[in-house]
C-alpha cells in the first residue's frame, strides 16, 4: 500500500497549528484579558459556535451564567500562577452550548509565554457527558443496592454511603461522611481495626472480611448486630479506596440458632429412641434366657441361644448409637469388637483354644447397613465357633473390614477349621443361619463369595 505523501513544514508554527486543529479535544487559546484568540474544529463541535463567532469574544460566553461572575477572578489568579494543571480541582466544571444547554467538562490549563504579547492560556476541553452518565448509573446502582455500601479512603475516612447503610446503622449520611470507619465498629473490636485495615491496604484484593470470625456492626443506638462484609479495592488517581458491602445477618443467625436448637432436640429424641430400642431388645434377650432355663431339650436350648445372640447383635448397635455423638453413622469397627466379645461369652469359649483376630479400618456405616451386617457377622462367627473346631479342636477365626475404595467395603470372615462339607448345598441349605446370611446380603446389595476350606472363607463386597 503506497504511503500518503506529506509536504515538509516550513516552520514550527505551522506544525503546531495543524496539531492543535487535529486534536480530538476542544482547544481554546485566550490572551491575558480572557479574550478568545484561537479555537479548533473540535471546539466548534463542542459548543455549537463557528470560530468566527468565538474569536475576540470573552471566554465567559462559554461558561454557564451561574459560574460566570467568579470566573474572571479565577482566570487572573491562574495567570499569576502560570503552571500546567487541571482546572477547578475538586469542583465539577460545566460548559455552555450555544443552544443554552450545559454539559460537564474536564479542562486542562497550559500557560504559553510569548516575547512580545505576554502570557496566553491554552485550554484543552473534554466533554465528559458519557463518563458522568456512567458514573451516575454506578451511583444509582450503589444507591439502589439492598446491601449497605460504604466507601473509605486510605486513611479509613468514609467517603460515600448509600441509603441502606443509613438504615442499617441509624445515621444520616451527613453524620458519616468524613468520619472514621471505626464509628461503625463495636468498641471491643475498634482498637485493632486500624491495623487490620492497613494490612488489607498492603495486599488489597476482593474478598470477604474477617474470614472465620464473627463480625458485628454498631448501630447509632449502641446496639451491636451481626454482619457479613465484602471488601473491594478500587484504584483511583488519588490512591486506593475500599468499597465495602455490608449485610445484616441477624435473621440468618436467628435461623441458625433455631436450627441448632432443633437439631439438638432431634438428637435427644433419637438418643431416647435408641435407648428404648436397646432396652426392649435386652428384655427380649432376658426372656429368651429365662425360657432356656426352663428347658431340658438341648436342641431347643441351642435354638434359643442363637436367637439371643441375634437379638444381642441388634441391641449392641443401638447401644453404640446411643453413646455416639452422631446418630447418622455407626462405628462398625466398635460393633465388630463388641459382637465378638459377646459371642465368646455366650458360647463360653476358651480363648487359648480358639482365637478371634480382628483387622478393621475405621468404618462408619448407616444404621440401615449396620443392623443387617451385624446379624451376618453374628451368624458366620457363631457357625465358626460351633462347627469349625470339633472335639475341642483349636484354631483361628479372622475378621477383616477393609475399604476397597471410598464407596466399596470388603468384609472377610475366615477360619482354619475343618471346612464346609462338599455334600452341603450352601444355596439350598436348611440351616436358618445360612438362609439369613443370604437374605441379609440381598438386603444390603452385598456380593457374597464362599470358599469351603483351606481356609473357610466368607467374603462380602458391600456398596456404601
- Model confidence pLDDT, tens digit, residues 32-90: 899 999 999 999 999 999 999 999 999 999 999 999 998 988 888 888 887 878 887 76
**Mean pLDDT, rounded, for 341-359:** 87
Question: CB of 340 within 8 A of CB of 360?
Answer: no
Pairing of strands 26-30, 85-86: unpaired
Question: CB of 357 within 8 A of CB of 399?
Answer: yes
**Mean pLDDT, rounded, for 428-438:** 77
pLDDT of residue 269: 65
Residue 162 has pLDDT above 90, yes or no: yes
pLDDT of residue 1: 38
**Mean pLDDT, rounded, for 244-260:** 90
DSSP-based three-state secondary structure for 433: helix
DSSP-based three-state secondary structure for 77: helix
* Cα–Cα distance, 113 to 118 (Å, whole number): 6
Give the tens place of pLDDT for each residue, 101-141. Answer: 999 999 999 998 877 778 899 999 999 988 888 878 878 88
Cα separations (Å) of 79 from 126, 247, 258? 21, 51, 71
By CB neighbour count within 10 A (0-12 exposed, 13-18 middle, 19+ buried), where does 316 fall? buried
**Mean pLDDT, rounded, for 387-391:** 89
Amino acid at each position: 500500500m503506497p504511503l500518503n505523501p506529506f509536504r515538509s513544514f516550513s516552520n514550527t508554527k505551522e506544525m503546531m497549528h495543524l496539531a492543535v486543529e487535529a486534536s480530538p479535544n476542544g482547544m481554546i487559546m485566550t490572551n491575558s484579558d480572557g479574550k478568545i484568540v484561537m479555537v479548533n474544529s473540535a471546539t466548534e463541535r463542542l459548543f455549537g459556535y463557528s470560530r468566527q463567532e468565538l474569536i475576540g469574544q470573552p471566554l465567559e460566553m462559554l461558561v454557564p451564567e451561574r459560574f460566570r461572575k467568579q470566573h474572571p477572578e479565577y482566570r487572573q489568579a491562574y495567570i499569576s500562577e502560570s503552571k500546567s494543571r487541571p482546572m477547578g480541582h475538586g469542583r465539577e466544571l460545566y460548559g455552555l452550548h450555544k443552544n443554552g444547554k450545559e454539559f460537564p467538562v474536564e479542562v486542562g490549563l497550559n500557560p504559553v509565554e510569548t516575547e512580545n504579547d505576554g502570557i496566553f492560556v491554552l485550554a484543552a476541553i473534554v466533554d465528559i457527558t458519557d463518563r458522568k452518565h456512567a458514573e451516575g448509573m454506578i451511583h444509582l446502582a450503589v444507591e439502589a443496592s439492598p446491601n449497605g455500601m460504604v466507601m473509605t479512603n486510605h486513611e479509613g475516612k468514609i467517603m460515600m454511603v448509600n441509603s441502606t447503610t443509613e438504615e442499617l446503622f441509624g445515621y444520616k449520611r451527613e453524620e458519616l461522611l468524613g468520619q472514621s470507619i471505626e464509628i461503625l465498629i463495636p468498641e471491643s473490636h475498634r482498637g485493632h481495626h486500624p491495623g487490620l485495615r492497613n494490612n488489607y491496604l498492603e495486599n488489597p484484593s476482593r474478598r470477604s472480611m474477617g474470614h472465620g470470625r464473627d463480625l458485628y456492626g454498631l448501630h447509632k443506638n449502641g446496639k451491636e448486630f451481626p454482619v457479613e462484609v465484602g471488601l473491594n479495592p478500587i484504584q483511583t488517581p488519588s490512591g486506593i479506596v475500599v468499597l465495602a458491602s455490608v449485610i445484616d445477618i441477624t435473621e440468618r443467625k436467628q435461623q441458625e440458632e433455631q436450627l441448632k436448637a432443633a437439631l439438638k432436640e432431634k438428637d435427644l429424641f433419637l438418643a431416647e429412641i435408641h435407648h428404648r430400642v436397646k432396652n426392649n431388645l435386652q428384655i427380649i434377650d432376658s426372656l429368651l434366657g429365662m425360657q432356656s432355663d426352663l428347658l431340658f431339650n438341648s436342641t431347643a436350648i441351642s435354638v434359643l441361644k442363637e436367637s439371643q445372640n441375634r437379638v444381642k447383635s441388634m441391641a449392641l448397635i443401638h447401644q453404640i448409637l446411643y453413646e455416639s455423638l452422631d446418630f447418622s453413622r455407626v462405628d462398625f469397627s466398635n460393633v465388630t469388637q463388641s459382637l465378638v466379645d459377646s459371642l465368646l461369652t455366650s458360647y463360653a469359649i476358651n480363648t487359648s483354644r480358639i482365637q478371634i483376630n480382628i483387622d478393621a479400618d475405621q468404618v462408619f456405616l448407616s444404621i440401615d447397613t449396620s443392623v443387617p451386617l451385624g446379624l451376618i457377622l453374628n451368624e458366620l462367627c457363631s457357625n465358626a465357633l460351633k462347627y469349625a473346631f470339633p472335639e475341642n479342636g483349636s484354631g483361628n477365626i479372622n475378621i477383616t473390614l477393609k475399604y476397597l475404595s471410598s464407596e466399596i467395603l470388603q468384609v472377610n470372615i475366615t477360619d482354619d477349621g475343618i471346612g464346609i462339607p462338599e455334600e452341603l448345598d450352601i444355596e439350598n441349605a436348611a440351616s436358618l443361619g445360612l438362609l439369613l446370611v443370604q437374605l441379609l446380603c440381598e438386603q444390603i446389595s452385598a456380593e457374597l463369595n464362599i470358599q469351603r476350606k483351606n481356609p473357610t472363607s466368607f467374603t462380602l463386597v458391600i456398596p456404601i
